[in-house]
Structure 1
Amino acid sequence: MVRGVRTQTSVDRAAAVKAWFAASFPGRCMRRMYDIDGRNRAITLAGQAFIALIPLLVVVSGWLSRDGTQQFADLLIEYFALTGSTADSVTALFARPPDATGGLTLLGLVILLFSVGSFSRSLQRLYELAWGLDPAPRLRSTASGLGGVLFMLGMFALVGWIGHLLGPAGIAVQAVVSVPLWLVLIRLELGGRADIDGLVPAAVVATVVQLAAGWWTHLYVPHLIAIDAARYGVVGVAFAIVAWLVIVAYVLVGTAVVGYELSVWMRDRGITATMRSWVGRRVPHSSRQEGP
């Protein structure tokens, strides 16, 4: 009898702990990650990025450098500070044959556009699911999705360039630049169906994780490329790039989920309303001081 009571008590405690964790912030994040099938979405995004964004960047770099002085391989080598045989492997992977002429064929261009469109729809659907929204109308979602992808590439390039230019001292500048850019990007992906103040926590989370992932990339990815290139040659560079894209995709999925749950947590505790009222009081005050 005593053993049965102890067993029931243990079961009740375990159920209470489970219920407490499910209602906690980490528990809600894990639940939403499960609900949106975050693992498979990250793998899908990484694969689509490899077959869509990498060719797109190769084409863009070729267009920006018609004389061939600055190709995509050069950009990767410079960004990751690659040297020696590793740099040679990257060059061989993306090198254009010396007797190649012309640009993309019409079929190649169509496939590239479809690939980019598929990636943009997957990225947009990720944010819609994280925010619990239904899919946007097809025409509207296509326009905002493609705009979001182009904006994201430009944002990553700008933030990376600031970090490359200023080094560790540029982290504060990168943060100041990144937060409003993430606000715009998330709002684009959601088709404008979310208030700006509700997106601020998600933008801050995405900025912090982006900066951490960026510095991790500079420290670890060159080592990863060097190891895979030494083991498998040119194909190893492709393996390393895919692994890097998988990590980036998990970062996108994780920041979307955590950002939304943080915005809900702040809203439920009145923090968002307090911030809104504080900004509302400050803006008229500033306007009165700026007036004649």
Structure 2
Amino acid sequence: MARIAVPSSLRAAVPRIAGELARVQIFDRSMTLAAQAFTSIFPLLIMLGALSGSRAREQLSSLLRLPANSTQLVHEALSGSRSGAFGLLGSLIVVLSATGLARALIRAYRATWQVDGRRTGAAATGWQIGTVLLLVLFLIGARLLARLAGLTPAPLVVEPALTLLTDCALAILLPRILLGPSAPRDRLLIGGVLYGFMMLGVRAAGTIYLPRALESSSERYGTIGLAFTYIGWLYVLSFCLLLSAVLAGVLTAGRPPQDKGQHHLGQAGDQAAETGEQHQRPQRQAGHEEQDSAENHREQARDQQRGPA
């Protein structure tokens, strides 16, 4: 039986990837992100549906891919919630509570890439709110792009291309916004590309799995079944996001942490210091020889002054 030759670089990378996955605790962090996403994004979607009217409620049901009985439940719940239920104070509380997802993402990226970058001060809360709103807009925009792609002459080509670009952009923007300028650019780009290609397969599987799982969970367990199904799906998305970040960290592990300009400056400084050391070494040696010679002359003068014993 013929054996498949595995490159040595791949054999060396597998233990490193496994070690990084264990160090990051990817399963626990993925569950944390999934739970935070469920309690952050869905209240914002419900708030937008309550504030926007009946047409937005229909769009929300279509966006969430709810079964028929659950769609009616959402319509009844939102129709009884007027805009006064989500006033200025209520909307502010919903938005601020949604920042828990942004903080969980910050902790996940800092643990994965072992960086200290983090926005601080009052502006940090604004960036966190912007991150959650970006996720909501991405969720809505992805569905709109899918519908627009279906109107094109080649939807089977246009839709995957659009979703690939949007997924890559999302995975790049999230850590860049949350960690600030100190986020490593090489890991941002590599992680974003990896996440985009992962999502091509995950989205294809989701179009088949998610509607059936929602229908089955709704028939068996009601509304709570829908919640469990969505949390499970968000867990898959969170796992892919963290896995792409871990792989990007492993692929760029051998690179220096500082940027290219600082690296060249550091090398030039080391070379200059070494050159200066080489020039100063003969001078110091000559100085020591002169000092020893002067000391010998002084010793001989003292011996002549003493005379024979």
TM-score (normalised: structure 2): 0.67
Pick from 253, 268, 283: which aligns with 2:242? 253
Pair 1:43 & 2:27 matched = no
Residue 44 of structure 1 and its aligned partner are, at CA, apart by 1.2
Partner in structure 1 of residue 175 of structure 2: 186
Indicate how the Cα distance of structure 1 residues 159 and 110 shifts in structure 2: closer, same or farther if over 3 A, else same. Answer: closer
Indicate how the Cα distance of structure 1 residues 258 and 77 shifts in structure 2: closer, same or farther if over 3 A, else same. Answer: same
Distance, in Å, in 2 between the alignment partners of 1:74 and 1:154 is 13
Runs (5+) with no aligned partner, structure 2: 1-7, 150-154, 261-309
Residue 210 of structure 1 and its aligned partner are, at CA, apart by 2.4
Partner in structure 2 of residue 159 of structure 1: 142
Pick from 196, 206, 214: which aligns with 1:217? 206
Pick from 129, 143, 167: which aligns with 1:146? 129
* Equivalent residue letter for 1:235: I
Distance, in Å, in 1 between the alignment partners of 2:163 and 2:177 is 21
Indicate how the Cα distance of structure 1 residues 198 and 79 shifts in structure 2: closer, same or farther if over 3 A, else same. Answer: same
Residue 122 of structure 1 and its aligned partner are, at CA, apart by 0.4
The superposition leaves residues 145-165 of structure 1 with CA deviations (integer Å, 9 ceiling, x where unpaired) of: 332332233334333432333
Partner in structure 2 of residue 117 of structure 1: 99
Residue 236 of structure 1 and its aligned partner are, at CA, apart by 1.8
Partner in structure 2 of residue 276 of structure 1: none
Runs (5+) with no aligned partner, structure 1: 1-19, 274-292
Distance, in Å, in 1 between the alignment partners of 2:79 and 2:145 is 34
* Equivalent residue letter for 1:95: E
Q: How does 1:264-275 map to 2 (within 5 A)?
A: 264=253, 267=255
Paired residues of 1:48 and 1:119 also in contact (CA < 8 A) = yes
Distance, in Å, in 2 between the alignment partners of 1:41 and 1:208 is 21
Distance, in Å, in 2 between the alignment partners of 1:52 and 1:249 is 14
Partner in structure 2 of residue 130 of structure 1: 112
Residue 181 of structure 1 and its aligned partner are, at CA, apart by 4.5
Distance, in Å, in 2 between the alignment partners of 1:247 and 1:32 is 18
Pick from 38, 50, 60: which aligns with 1:75? 60
Paired residues of 2:24 and 2:111 also in contact (CA < 8 A) = yes
* Equivalent residue letter for 1:24: A
Partner in structure 1 of residue 76 of structure 2: 95
Paired residues of 1:45 and 1:119 also in contact (CA < 8 A) = yes
* Equivalent residue letter for 2:102: S
Distance, in Å, in 1 between the alignment partners of 2:79 and 2:167 is 40
* Equivalent residue letter for 2:142: V
Distance, in Å, in 2 between the alignment partners of 1:92 and 1:122 is 31
> Which stretch of structure 1 is more off in the superposition, 122-131 or 164-173?
164-173
Paired residues of 1:131 and 1:260 also in contact (CA < 8 A) = yes
SS at 1:133 equivalent: coil
Q: Which of the two has higher C-alpha Rg? A: 2
Partner in structure 2 of residue 283 of structure 1: none
* Equivalent residue letter for 2:86: L
- Identical-residue share of aligned pairs (%): 24
SS at 1:136 equivalent: coil
Residue 105 of structure 1 and its aligned partner are, at CA, apart by 5.5
Partner in structure 1 of residue 263 of structure 2: none
Distance, in Å, in 2 between the alignment partners of 1:97 and 1:61 is 7
* Equivalent residue letter for 1:232: Y
Partner in structure 2 of residue 284 of structure 1: none
Distance, in Å, in 2 between the alignment partners of 1:117 and 1:220 is 30
The superposition leaves residues 26-84 of structure 1 with CA deviations (integer Å, 9 ceiling, x where unpaired) of: 32222222222222111111111122210011112333x23x2221x64343563x5xx
How big is the alpha-carbon RMSD for the aligned residues of Structure 1 and Structure 2?
Answer: 3.1
Distance, in Å, in 1 between the alignment partners of 2:201 and 2:217 is 23
Q: How does 1:200-239 map to 2 (within 5 A)?
A: 200-239=189-228
Distance, in Å, in 2 between the alignment partners of 1:211 and 1:75 is 23
